[in-house]
Amino acid sequence: MRETFFYNQLRVTQEVISSRVSDFCVGDYTFEVGGKKKGKKQISEVPNGYVVRDEIEYATNQIIPLWAFGLMY
């Protein structure tokens, strides 16, 4: 459900493709979508890699709250 929400919000203005390393690639950026405890292990070697977490309020370093992508629509 998280991945579907992320995809649906970004596809309106961006080309979203699947990634071999994580969930999605959008331009030069790679996104791994997960829950509150999702870590950066999967994208640790990826330049411009970000974790998109559900159930958090604020962004820190390479972690972005999932709700923030709802503002893009």
Q: What is the pLDDT of residues 2-59, one digit of tens each?
A: 999 999 999 999 999 998 899 999 999 999 999 998 988 889 899 999 999 999 999 9
Read off the pTM: 0.90
Give how far Cα 34 sits from Cα of 22, 42, 52, Å.
11, 11, 6
Instruction: Kindly indicate the confidence band of residue 72, based on its pLDDT and cuts at 50, 70 and 90.
Output: confident
pLDDT value of residue 70: 92
